[in-house]
Homo-oligomer: A and B are copies of this chain.
């Protein structure tokens, strides 16, 4: 092993390398199911046992990885939205960024949606990272309404429909690679936005 050992306060650095290695593996594998402790250890170049210094078990690694990637997704969507012009453009930018992330990172996406992305919150209302995405879309629809382009259904429902549509389209592409060109996802969500806005 050409690996250099971390210094005293830098034990946390291996944690980052483990997450990065797992992330790399996730790009090659289809999803979290194929992600093994031993595989991650091989990818990072460490012993399987070393992973247990930073994650108590496989589930904890998957949870940590999911949270890590949700951070990336939020950032990508935020940047995309800021770069757009009017309200409709910002809404489109949000959902396009979401789809692009999902299309380019099938393994990450599958892990994220399948791993506690939506929990049952207070009053049985769903909460979680994915619901934050829906909330962002709802704000987008509300801004559109203020600029004169109302949605055919209440903003909340429009946001859910757009999100569910995007998720469904992406999921179909992932489970049937080669079914269509990835760009078809973008035009699908564009159609959906057109349908939702009056």
Residues of A within 8 A of B (CB): 33, 113-114, 116-120, 124, 126, 128, 130, 152-153, 157, 160-161, 164-169, 171-172, 175-176, 178-180, 188, 191-192, 195-196
Contact B175 A117 (CB under 8 A): yes
Given contacts A126-B180, A167-B172, contact A191 B33 (CB under 8 A): no
Return 16 A-B CB contacts under 8 Å, by A number.
A113-B171, A113-B176, A114-B175, A117-B176, A119-B176, A120-B178, A126-B176, A153-B191, A161-B165, A161-B191, A161-B192, A164-B188, A165-B165, A165-B168, A167-B168, A195-B196
Residues of B within 8 A of A171 (CB): 113, 167-168, 171
Top 8 nearest A-B pairs (CB, nearest first) are A168-B168, A118-B176, A164-B168, A167-B168, A114-B175, A118-B179, A126-B179, A171-B171
Interface residue from B153, B160, B165, B176 paired with A164 (Cβ < 8 Å): B165
Distance, CA A171 to CA B168, complexed state (A): 7
Using A128-B176, A130-B172 as known contacts, list a sample of 5 further A-B pairs with CB atoms less than 8 Å apart, ordered by residue number in A. A117-B175, A126-B176, A152-B195, A161-B195, A195-B196
